[in-house]
Structure 1
Amino acid sequence: MSETTSVLDLEEAGAVLAAEAARFASFGWMRGTSGNLSVVLSRTPLQLAVTASGRDKGELTAADVVLTDASGAALGAGRPSAEAALHARVAALTGAGAVVHVHTVASVAMGHRSPGGIAFRDLEMLKGLGHGTHEVAVTLPVIENSQDMAVLGDRLEAALSPGMPAVVVAGHGLYVWGADPREARHRTEVVEWLLELELTRS
């Protein structure tokens, strides 16, 4: 029997992810059919609900989600995002319950300007990432892109940074994770705010 970590079934997860995707799309962070979202439905074995491939993220319905395993492979009908395997890798590595991947201008621009990582310090918004005070310094890792999700997952694992539940994939976009879709959303908005601030400073 699986160890369930979510109270959502697949249809409920689809409704939640559709609502989250519509929010991000309204910000211009998931243009065209770009980006993808996931939520963990079971930890043992690891199973996720992942947004379906090739769909406009501002128009998703509860049915536009696919059940996947720890390798990102579909367990039923539908075709998940090509990056489903990376979502599963993040969930396994970090214990996250939800993962957000958005294609924002600020993440791509700052990844290009700071390929060694993007440092933030002494900013009140860092509290939104779980820090008790603004008097901290954290680094948002930047990793090289790859179409091979195993390679990209290895790069992400090697780059994980304490106190920063996110990574920029160079020339691609931003991955952020949290305990559930709501926390992942809040963290995504915080990290994007930090990136936009740094972009204005550069």
Structure 2
Amino acid sequence: MSLDLAGRALARECARYAAMGWMRGTSGNLSVVLGRDPLRLAVTVSGLDKGELTRHDVVVVDGTGAAVADQPHPERVPSAEAGLHARIAAVAGAGAVVHVHAVAPVVAAEFWPDGVVLRDLEMLKGFGRAAHDDEVVVPVVPNSQDMTVLGDAFERGFSADVPALIVARHGVYVWGDDLHQARQRAECLEWLLRFRTETRGTS
């Protein structure tokens, strides 16, 4: 994918999440993989309203999340969380990573800090799992401003069949082969976690 196409796609997806209330103000960040050898990602810039991004508001980063040289717009700074995006792309083989601040995942992590268990829900199919006789445990890790610490915690709890990570009192990361799949999974996961929290005393 070219940087121009990536920028357009990322701006469009950010506007969608902002309208949903999942990327309030400047919060949240998205990325898409541009190449694998070496790993390169287009990541949304830091400090801008995510509902107002343009195709130019992206930065190319390497496998550590650092901005590469020869940026089209060198004054733009990648999200501080670009390092975790890169780690997820490398370890999970994801083509796109979505990080939003939907409330349901953060609330769920408060109740189940060791991981959120989901089972016997039809919406699990939209998350890439079976609706019945299948147990999904969404990992939860403590928040940190150090992306290496978060990346290590992600790797320790990583399971190839659970494309999501909740960072306690922060937000959720969801990934997929592309931005479309990552979005579908994020929307389904938010529903699942909202159901889990709102019915926690009944089952």
Q: What are the ranges of 5 or more consecutive residues in structure 2 without an aligned counterpart?
A: none
Q: Does residue 42 of structure 2 align to residue 49 of structure 1?
A: yes
Could you list the structure 1 runs, at least 4 aligned residues long, displaced by more than 4 angstroms after superposition. none
2:33 to 23, 31, 40: 40
Instruction: Give TM-score, length-normalised by structure 2.
Output: 0.93
Of 105, 111, 114, the match for 1:113: 111
Displacement, 1:162? 4.5
1:38-69 residue CA offsets vs partner (Å, 9 max, x unmatched): 00000010000000001111111100100111
Tell me which residue corresponds to 1:195. Answer: 193
| 1:68 matched to 2:61 | yes
2 CA distance for matches of 1:161 and 1:89? 14
CA distance in 2, matches of 1:137, 1:162: 14
User: Residues 106-146 of structure 1: CA distance to partner in whole angstroms, max 9, x if unpaired?
Assistant: 11111111101100001111111222443311100100111
Q: Equivalents in 2 of 1:173, 1:61: separation in Å?
A: 23
SS at match of 1:86: helix
Q: Distance in 2 between matches of 1:100 and 1:72?
A: 15
For the Cα contact (< 8 Å) 2:92–2:160, is it kept in 1?
no
- The residue type equivalent to 2:173 in the other structure is Y
CA distance in structure 2 between the partners assigned to 1:160 and 1:13 by the alignment: 26
Aligned pairs, how many? 195
Percent identity over the alignment is 58
Residue 3 of structure 2 aligns with which residue?
A: 10
Q: What are the ranges of 5 or more consecutive residues in structure 1 without an aligned counterpart?
A: 1-7
Residue deviations 1:129-183, cap 9 Å, x none?
Answer: 2224433111001001111100100001101134210010001000000000000
CA contact (8 A) 1:38 1:51 kept: yes
Report if aligned partners of 1:127, 1:134 keep a CA contact under 8 Å in 2. Answer: no
Partner residue of 1:30 out of 23, 31, 34? 23
- What is the aligned-residue RMSD (CA, Å)? 1.0
Partner of 2:143: 145
Q: Secondary structure at the match of 2:63?
A: coil
